[in-house]
Amino acid sequence: MSMKLPFFRKKKIHKKNDKEILTNIPEHVAIIMDGNGRWAKGKGLPRIAGHKEGMNNVTKTVRAANKYGVKTLTLYAFSTENWKRPRSEVEFIMKLPKQFLHVYLPEMIENNVQIRTIGEFESLPSHTKEAVQYAVDQTKDNDGLILNLALNYGSRHEILRAMKKIMKEVESSSLSIDDIDEEQLSSYLYTNGFNDPDLLIRTSGEKRVSNFLLWQIAYSELWFTDVLWPDFDESTFVQALKDYEQRKRRYGGI
């Protein structure tokens, strides 16, 4: 007859509060959250299931960014080119901000997060605008992590829009051509008031920037991962931070 021997378990490690010691944390991290469709395909699910999973996943990165002291997190959620997708997919994506905020806005408020947006907001469906505007208003007095959602954002559109605004002001003589410098042009972009991203992450293995923050990433550090957005988690985020920690930024100097 066999007898059960007592054994000693290793002390349980509470992973939740583990924090890697990192220095040189990027102030502004921008992420191209790509690969929702492929994630779904890999599981035999419709593309929209990937978008839903991707939406739920945003909160992990917000928590991780907060935990490591990132000041601004800009997430590419919908591009000006994404309107090319089938109408049913676009309609589904446009419902996600409301669903996301319904679940996670209380946590964001509790964690002092400020929600902002960049992009051509006016052309979004009214239900999307209302939900997002409500969250922006509710968090406007917070002073913690800025969660900046790029919705209907496209860099070329942004630069063209800035050019037109500048030209109108020049035309009406409220601005002189000689006064336009880089800082001035930056102030006409949606990102006015934000520092440029220090680190740009793209998931899903694609190595391109897809019309995201073209002006602002002039000197950003780039980090690519094959991980699909719905699988991106704190450990992937920390990998990016660790890589960034080793980078030497020279800005053209020596």
Paired with 200 in beta bridges are: 30, 222
Residues with catalytic roles: 34, 82
**Under a CB-based contact definition with an 8 Å cutoff, are residues 115 and 139 in contact?**
yes
Closer Cβ to Mg ion, 32 or 189, answer by number: 32
**Under a CB-based contact definition with an 8 Å cutoff, are residues 64 and 31 in contact?**
no
Give the one entry of Mg ion, ligand IPE, none that residue 82 binds, where binding means its C-beta sits below a cut-off of 5 to 8 angstroms depending on kind: ligand IPE
Dig out the tokens for 190 from the structure: 């949606």
By the criterion CB under 6 A, which residues form the site for ligand IPE? 32-38, 76-79, 82, 93, 204, 206, 208, 210
Least CB distance to ligand IPE at residue 217 (A)? 14
Least CB distance to ligand IPE at residue 11 (A)? 40
230 binds Mg ion (CB under 5 A): no
In the bound complex, which residue of the shown chain has the CB atom lying closest to ligand IPE? 37
- Cα–Cα distance between 139 and 238 in angstroms, integer? 26
53 binds Mg ion (CB under 5 A): no
Q: Of these, 29, 34, 217, 237, which contacts Mg ion (CB under 5 A)? A: 34
**Under a CB-based contact definition with an 8 Å cutoff, are residues 187 and 216 in contact?**
no
Phi and psi based region of residue 135 (left: phi greater than 0; alpha: psi -120 to 50; beta: remaining): alpha
Other beta carbons less than 10 A from residue 77's beta carbon: 24
Closer Cβ to ligand IPE, 140 or 208, answer by number: 208
32 binds Mg ion (CB under 5 A): no
Least CB distance to ligand IPE at residue 58 (A)? 11
Task: Kindly state the DSSP code that residue 202 receives in the 8-state scheme.
Answer: E
- Applying CB under 5 A, which residues contact Mg ion? 34
